[in-house]
Amino acid sequence: MVLQLVAIGYLLTFLFEYDQVWLGLAVLTFMLSVAAWIGIRPQTRKCSKTYGLAFSALLIGAGLNLAWILLAVLKLDPWYQPRMVIPLAGMVFSAGMNSLSVAIERYEQEMVNNRENAQRAAFNAATISHVNMLLAVGLVSLPGMMTGQILSGTSPLIAVRYQIMVMSMLVGTSTLVLCAYFFLRNKFLNPVSQN
């Protein structure tokens, strides 16, 4: 963890200085590839097809949400600003990756016990942490981004606006990634079972 964080600190410093779109896209592709690989970690039978499903689901779900945030919510001009795009991409890719891992693990367990509702149970399990987060925010916890902004001197009202955007982005990404994953899984991996 420490080595990864130090390395990314140096890489981000370089990317922010040179502001090359192709370098940023290479970093995003690498992040997406690693997220897909980690996302399928709980899967018992891994192959290029299962990796492709995870990669595609993350690309669709996280990609759509990231594009929406950059173009419609933040209205970045130019659209690609490494200081904004890379951290936001990291958040959406990791949210999708975590939900995907939980869903895959639960889906495999449910297929052993209750084949009929396996996808529904997997989807519900993968979204529990996000629902809990939405219920507890402000009452139980102050999220990290909001706390960091407040500690750096930003007005709490501005910090709250950004935190609302981030939480909506994380929940939306997870939901889209899971929908894309199960749609693609039914279409290409097990087209006979449409549960």
Cα–Cα distance list, 3 to 10, 56, 158 (Å): 11, 29, 33
- Torsion sign over Cα 102, 36, 91, 96: negative
Q: Identify the pLDDT of residue 14.
A: 79
Q: Identify the pLDDT of residue 164.
A: 84
Distance CA 4, CA 14 (A): 15
Distance CA 115, CA 83 (A): 45
Rg, C-alpha atoms of the chain: 18
Residues 6+ apart with CB under 8 A from 158: 149
Question: How many other C-beta atoms can be found within 10 angstroms of the C-beta atom of residue 148?
Answer: 12
Burial of 190 (0-12, 13-18, 19+ CB in 10 A): exposed
pTM above 0.85, yes or no: no
Q: Identify the pLDDT of residue 153.
A: 84
Q: Identify the pLDDT of residue 162.
A: 82
Q: Identify the pLDDT of residue 191.
A: 54
Cβ-contact 58, 39 below 8 angstroms = yes
pLDDT in tens, the chain (195 residues): 888 888 888 888 877 777 677 777 888 899 999 999 999 998 888 788 889 999 999 999 999 999 898 888 888 787 787 778 888 899 899 999 999 999 999 998 888 886 778 899 999 999 998 888 888 777 777 677 777 888 888 888 888 888 888 888 889 999 999 999 999 998 887 754 444
* Domains of the chain by residue range: 2-189
